[in-house]
Amino acid sequence: MNYISGKRYFLLILTIAILVFSCAGTKPKPESREISRVENRIITIDSTLSPDLEMETFLQSYRSEVQALMSEVIGFAAVDLKRGKPEAPLNNFVADLMLKRGKKEFSRSVDAALTNEGGLRVDIPAGPITLGKIFEVMPFENELVVLELTGAQLITLAKEIGEAGGEPIAGMRLEFLDNVLERCTIRGKSAIGDSIYYLVTTDYLSSTGRNRFKILSQVPKTLLGITVRDAIIDEIKELHRSDQPITAQIDGRIIFRRRSP
């Protein structure tokens, strides 16, 4: 992979922070020194501050490298890929590639995928897709995980997806009548309570302490060792190598209906 990682960004920012403090004359505190008085003042950071030429020179080499990496065109979108609820083109594209990657990386057959629409930060407009755009879409280091759920647990999850107004899913179809789950199908069949299903999602959604989707933190979990962002980048690059543009559409995988008056 030749794209920059979130960890590399962190190290770059950390290096810059250390240099900034060094330039400011920050020194280690002597072990025996006693602080008798603390003073503070407000420093306004705005256009009136003069640039530090030494720091600008130092940062320029990194800035040029990052800009070159982020400007790389990795694919082409044939249509606008927008976020939305209950489903949307970008939702479906990301959930589909998560399911595809889960099937490739996991030792058993993965049945479905789930992520959160709020984690997709921006839309992808039709046209060339740069690496930087994918960092805008997915700025987090969320990692793919596979969870083992019973059919009953999957149905509980489906109900919560409905309460959330919909989330990006793949491999299953959810139908709600007056916001009540009416049907949950997976692999084209209704979910069976005592059957075992494998769901690829993110370590974020399956972490403990969350108010929503608590069931995801209570089941067996396998980390796949790849971030959602990298999975998106890999999928777009793979399609680009085959001269295939990115296309996605709403296909009715989440349906909300109302009873007739």
Q: Hunting for tokens 């009548």 — which residue is that?
A: 177
Peptide bond into 86 cis (omega under 30): yes
Check whether residue 62 and residue 32 sit in a common domain.
yes
Measure the CA–CA gap between 261 and 259, rounded to whole angstroms.
Answer: 6
Identify residue 231 by its one-letter amino acid code.
A
User: How many separate domains does the chain show?
Assistant: 2
Radius of gyration of the chain (CA): 23
Identify the band that residue 229 occupies on the pLDDT scale cut at 50, 70 and 90: very high
Say if CB 200 and CB 146 are below 8 A apart. Answer: yes
In this structure, are 225 and 192 located in the same domain?
Answer: yes
pLDDT digits (tens, 9 = 90+) for 124-136: 999 999 999 999 9
For residues 46 and 169, membership in a common domain is answered with: no
pLDDT in tens, 103-126: 999 999 999 999 999 999 999 999
What's the pLDDT band for 42 if we cut at 50, 70, 90? confident
Say if residue 109 is in the same domain as residue 161. Answer: yes
The band of 47, judged by pLDDT with boundaries at 50, 70 and 90, is confident
Residue 54's domain comprises 6-70
Segment 164-182, tens digit of pLDDT: 999 999 999 999 999 999 9
Taking the C-alpha atoms of 229, 231, 233 and 238 in order, what is their torsion angle to the nearest 10 degrees? -170
Phi and psi, residue 196, nearest 5°: -105, 135
- Residue 22: what pLDDT? 46
Please check whether residues 114 and 242 belong to one and the same domain.
yes
Which amino acid, one-letter code, is at 19? L
Token pair in block for residue 153: 């647990």
- With tokens 């059919």, the residue in question is 151
CA distances from 150 to 61, 95, 157, 188, 189 (A): 52, 20, 11, 17, 15
pLDDT of 74 reads 98
